[in-house]
């Protein structure tokens, strides 16, 4: 992906739609286009976070480690923003990102991403909406998992009483 394509990609994403063109060009200049094959890891849970990814093509599984298992907690596709939480929190990655099929991402330096968001109220509002949606999705998943666990426990108790 050349510089012009990176600028076009950023401009097509609602987060950056109203960013000043000069700042958008600077962000594109500081970015890299990376490709991943099916199953390849973009980032690992616990790793230092210094980049944010925007999916240009393909899908990415967001995996969380529970004991010895990696559990898919989300699947994100075209134009999804990934990795911003660790940048905002200045912490390590909270999940592993794994390519599902062929994936192309624009990798943005974390400090440039932060500067762009903090200097542009419209971009900050979009990020708040993205984060709110992720919180709502995680809450929903937790509530559904809790309900399934209770159902399994009740079924096991019923089987124990009947058997």
* Residue-level pLDDT at 163: 65
Q: What is the rounded CA–CA span in Å between residue 160 and residue 163?
A: 5
Q: What is the rounded CA–CA span in Å between residue 107 and residue 109?
A: 7
Q: Which CATH superfamily is domain 32-162 in?
A: Jelly Rolls (2.60.120.10)
The residue to which tokens 């912490």 are assigned: 91
Mean predicted lDDT score pLDDT of the chain: 86
pTM of the predicted model over 0.85:
no
- The pair of structure tokens assigned to 86 is 């660790």
**Mutual angle of helices 21-29 and 110-119, in 10-degree steps:** 170
* Residue-level pLDDT at 23: 85
Of the candidate ranges 59-73, 106-120, 141-155, the one whose mean pLDDT is the lowest? 141-155
**Where does the pLDDT of residue 145 fall: very low under 50, low under 70, confident under 90, or very high at 90 and above?**
confident
Closest CA to 120 of 28, 33, 22, 6: 22
Taking 90 as the threshold, does the pLDDT of residue 119 lie above it? no
Whether the CA torsion 42, 108, 13, 11 is positive or negative: it is negative
- CB distance 6 to 28 below 8 Å: yes
Concatenating the DSSP letter of every residue in 72-108 gives EEEEE-TT-EESHHHHHHTSB-SSEEEEEEEEEEEEE
> For the chain, what percent of residues have pLDDT higher than 70?
98
Give the residue ranges of DSSP H helices in 34-120.
Answer: 84-89, 110-119
* Residue-level pLDDT at 137: 74
Segment 124-133 mean pLDDT: 75
Taking 80 as the threshold, does the pLDDT of residue 139 lie above it? no
* Residue-level pLDDT at 37: 98
Overall residue count recorded for the chain in this entry:
163
pLDDT digits (tens, 9 = 90+) for 30-86: 889 999 999 999 999 999 999 999 999 999 999 988 888 888 888 999 988 888 888
CA 156 distance to own-chain centroid: 36
Whether the CA torsion 127, 133, 139, 142 is positive or negative: it is negative
Segment 116-143 mean pLDDT: 75
pLDDT digits (tens, 9 = 90+) for 2-17: 778 888 888 888 778 8
- Maximum Cα interatomic distance, the chain, rounded to a whole number of Å: 72
Q: What is the rounded CA–CA span in Å between residue 48 and residue 67?
A: 21
């Amino acid at each position: 992906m050349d510089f012009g394509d990176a600028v076009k990609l950023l401009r097509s994403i609602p987060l950056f739609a109203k960013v000043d063109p000069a700042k958008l060009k600077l962000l594109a200049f500081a970015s890299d286009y990376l490709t991943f094959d099916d199953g390849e890891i973009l980032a690992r849970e616990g790793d230092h976070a210094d980049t944010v990814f925007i999916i240009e093509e393909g899908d990415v599984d967001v995996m969380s480690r529970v004991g010895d298992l990696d559990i898919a907690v989300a699947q994100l596709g075209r134009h999804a923003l990934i990795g911003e939480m660790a940048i905002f929190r200045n912490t390590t990655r909270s999940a592993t990102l794994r390519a599902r099929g062929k994936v192309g991402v624009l990798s943005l330096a974390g400090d440039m991403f932060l500067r762009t968001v903090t200097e542009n109220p419209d971009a900050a509002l979009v990020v708040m909406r993205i984060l709110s949606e992720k919180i709502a999705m995680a809450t929903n998943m937790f509530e559904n998992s809790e309900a399934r666990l209770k159902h399994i426990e009740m079924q096991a108790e019923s089987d124990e009483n009947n058997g």
